[in-house]
Amino acid sequence: MKSVVIQEAIPEIVMVGVQTPFSPVDIPGRIVDLIGGNAWLMEETTAYRRTVITTGNMDGRIFSVSEDGTWLRFTRRSDEEEIINTLWAASLETDPPQLFDLGVENVIHFADWVPGSKNNRVAFSTVEPRATAPGWQANNDLNILTFSTSGWVSQWEEIIEPNAGGIYGWWGANFLWGPDGEEMAFARPDGVGLVDFENNTFNALMEIIPLQTGADWAWVPGINWSPDGKTLFTVNHLPQDGSESPEESPVFDLSAIPIADGIPIYITPQTGMFAYPSASQSRITNNGEEAHEVAYLQAVFPMQSDNSRYRLTVMDRDASNPVVLFPNQGEQGIDPQQVSWSPVPTGESKDFLIAVIHQGNIWLIDSSNQLPPVQVTGDGLISRLDWQLIDS
């Protein structure tokens, strides 16, 4: 085989981890972020940041820390044909982290630890690679495997067998465990609901008008649980008044689904399709009540929310007192993303912080809006992050 050089490569140096000095911030637990295919970690303070995984091929499809802060779950790009990526786990308690190949290929939307399993059971969904856009055909399946630190991996336990996945099912469904690990929510282009583990099927709680994007992607609403597991937050796609094509409607409202009766409640109109609601942990208020807050992204241009930037907004659990936190009016909005709450309240004010990625850097936002936003990184290359408490 003969190789012909058409144009000589130009050497490029990318500076990672060297940043302008920012005032350090004490943080509870660990923040793990993704830069250029490698994982970096901040622990207890933003003053000290180090690389923990330097494979250079983490693709960011799956990137999350276990609830006890001791494991990182992630996917790595594959060089083999017919394999998009592979699923891995890394123990953050060893230096360097010990890596475990879970023997799973082609994971695009979902993989997570099974709650209460001491991080050795993993639930996941797979796709089949395709040469045509978007590059896969989703299986819309749900499986569980068990692995050990000796390298042993079990056979898969099939919970949901491969299926069409409803309208636009080729894109794929997403899943999210409830806080107690007893329930699992699903979201797909035509609905949101719960996984029926007894009958191994889907139980829809809210039907959604599938968005006709006219492109090689499908819209799937973000989902998030309240900390008590009684409410599921999501986004609904609604018809536009006077429009003859509800599938093309630009109207998206933030919704809450009480699990007890399963009747959706519209709580915030016209947030945009990428609102990605996210609830904080519970805390006791001054009057002795248990309460939580809900963060979401508000589109700067709600009627063009597919390409709009967004502003981080927080409200009380009953959808009252919405406050725009970041960025300030007149400044460039943030890209759509799932934000991360601090696992516990922090600082003298005992308020929660919210970590967001803005222009490739991590910012910490005070949820009470009493303190100004704090930028903690400056390399401008961060694409994913997760924040969890360290199990003591």
Section 148-177 average pLDDT: 94
Section 33-59 average pLDDT: 94
The SS3 assignment for 2 reads coil
Amino acid making up residue 57 = N
pLDDT digits (tens, 9 = 90+) for 191-200: 999 999 999 9
- Collect all residues with Cβ–Cβ distance below 8 Å to 39 and sequence separation of at least 6: 32, 33, 51, 52, 53, 58, 63, 72, 74, 90
What Cα–Cα distance (Å) separates residue 193 from each residue in 150, 186, 199, 207, 385? 37, 5, 14, 9, 26
Query: Residue 351's pLDDT is what?
Result: 87
Residue 279 forms beta bridges with which residues? 294
206 pLDDT higher than 50: yes
Query: Residue 1's pLDDT is what?
Result: 42
CA distance 239 to 247: 7
Q: Which of 231, 124, 132 is nearest to 172 (CA)?
A: 124
Amino acid making up residue 341 = W
356 pLDDT higher than 60: yes
Q: Which of 215, 212, 217, 209 is nearest to 192 (CA)?
A: 209
Q: Global pTM?
A: 0.91
What Cα–Cα distance (Å) separates residue 241 from each residue in 16, 207, 250? 49, 19, 11
Section 73-93 average pLDDT: 95
pLDDT digits (tens, 9 = 90+) for 266-322: 999 999 999 999 999 988 777 777 889 999 999 999 999 999 999 999 999 888 999
| pLDDT-derived band at 341, boundaries 50, 70, 90 | very high
